[in-house]
Amino acid sequence: MQFKKFKDESGFDFCFPVEYNPCKADAVSYPGLSSVDFTLEMPDEFLFIEVKNLDNPNIPQDVIERERRKFIIKTKKSSKCASNCPRDGICPKCGKIQFVCETHSKLKDTLLKRLAKGEIFTKPIVYVLLFEFRGFDYEQRRRLFELIKTNFPRFAEDEYSSIHSIKFLLYDSKNFKEKYTDFNINPTRSEAEKIPAKAGNYI
Ligand SMILES: [Zn+2]
């Protein structure tokens, strides 16, 4: 089996079998349109993958902390914010929690681009959010899953006619590996790990 390798997507290196035609979907950018990270065509399904790794050790700590904080605020239902909080994490356009809105937009934009090219999805589309975050317990993950699932984007009737079905799944990297055993996923090694420190260097 031949593999295609994609390095450092949110702190993971991915290897997918070439026969599934793996594409890094956001490599081609269209103005104003977002995209999921990977698309593959498997024997029984189209697989769309979005990767969000808040445990990525290669991102500067302050950036991660900001992301995490926003994310935790985002998934809490807070009706009243302090005056210095500009409704952090809420999409100004649709009022959804921003992460949920982004996750939906990426799916919708990816699909609309491909439908516009005349593609017909004769097999189920499985949209996987690979979400790595130790800061979330089981209950918080479940809630995130529900939030994304219950507010799923709608498509117009004629768009739907070209789509067999869409299923949403939330995995962490461990579950994902167990489910898709012919993929290979490994944490991206940081530059610091690749270059052995010289004697006498400060670390
Ligand atoms: Zn929105």
- Taking the alpha carbons at both ends of the chain, their separation in whole angstroms is 41
Does 199 reside within a domain? Answer: no
Instruction: List all residues 6 or more positions away from 179 whose beta carbon is below 8 Å from its beta carbon.
Output: 171
Dist. CA 202 → ligand 1 center (Å): 46
pLDDT tens for the 203 residues of the chain, in order: 899 999 999 999 999 999 999 999 765 666 778 899 999 999 999 999 999 998 988 888 888 777 777 666 665 555 444 444 445 677 778 878 888 888 999 999 999 999 999 999 999 999 999 999 988 889 889 988 998 998 888 888 888 899 999 999 999 999 999 999 999 999 998 765 665 555 554 44
Ligand 1 center from residue 132 Cα (angstroms): 23
Q: What is the pLDDT of residue 196?
A: 55
User: How, if at all, do strands 125-132 and 46-53 pair?
Assistant: parallel
Of 52, 55, 70, 75, nearest to 134 by C-alpha is: 55
User: 28: CA distance to ligand 1 center in Å?
Assistant: 22
Which pLDDT score is estimated for 107? Answer: 94
In a domain, 59, yes or no: yes
pLDDT at 86: 47
Long-range contacts of 20-24 (CB under 8 A, 24+ apart): 20/47
- Give the pLDDT of residue 123: 96
User: Domain for residue 36, yes or no?
Assistant: yes
d(CA 18, CA 159): 28
97 C-alpha to center of ligand 1: Å?
Answer: 8
Neighbours of 196 (CB within 10 A): 8
Q: Does a structural domain hold residue 54?
A: yes
Region of residue 118 (left: phi > 0; alpha: psi -120 to 50; beta: else): left
CA-wise closest residue to 103 among 146, 135, 148 = 148
Task: Report pLDDT for 198.
Answer: 52
Residue 132 is assigned to a structural domain of this protein: yes
CA distance 132 to 141: 10
Q: How many domains does the chain have?
A: 1
- Does some domain include residue 83? no
The residue written with tokens 């290669």 in the block is 58
Q: What is the pLDDT of residue 195?
A: 55
Residue 135 within any structural domain of the chain: yes
133 CA → ligand 1 middle, Å: 23
Q: How close is the Cα of 92 to the center of ligand 1, in Å?
A: 6
Domain contains 81: no
- Which domain does 53 fall in, by range? 3-75+89-194
What pLDDT, on the 0 to 100 scale, is given for residue 194? Answer: 61
CA–CA separation, 125 and 122 (whole Å): 9
Q: Give residue 77's pLDDT.
A: 53
Cβ pair 45, 125 in contact under 8 A? yes
Determine the pLDDT at residue 27: 58
